[in-house]
Amino acid sequence: MVFVALALGVAVWWNIQRTAKPATLTMSDAADPSAGTQRIAPSEETEQQPSAGSELPIASEDAPASNIREKLAVLPQVTGIRHWSSATSSTVAIDLKDQVQYEAHRLSQPERIYFDLHDTALAPGLFG
């Protein structure tokens, strides 16, 4: 859990420091594809909308809120988000209860990156 948060923080710092031409964002390759790390190329100037398959269910008459809570309880939880900055960098650490698959994307104007954490839920007490 700490390793994943540290890896995400290092990736954020590395991308912020990089001002030259775009390159491939490289995370450590894992032999096991479920290990939560992968090598991906950043998407240039594109914002991606969440796919319909990744949307969380919405409470309705057919699916009571308790059923939705039960489904969300089995997902890895984001338990905290920490950040700190210095004159030359910013670091963000995301605390997770388990390893998760993720994608890194890049946006421009202003230059920034974001991580899409697949199949996760916010822990109680976090808002988002």
* DSSP code per residue over 14-59: HHHH--SS---B-----SSGGGS---BPPPSS--PPPPGGGPPP--
Number of domains making up the chain: 1
Strands 90-96 and 77-85: antiparallel
Q: Is the pLDDT score of 107 beyond 90?
A: yes
**Does residue 63 sit in helix, strand or coil?**
coil
Q: What is the pTM of this model?
A: 0.47
Look up the domain containing 5 and give its range: 1-18+36-42+65-128
What number of H helices and E strands is found in the chain?
2, 5
Q: pLDDT tens, 29-85? A: 333 334 344 444 444 434 444 444 445 555 555 557 788 878 878 899 999 999 999
pLDDT at 124: 86
pLDDT at 66: 80
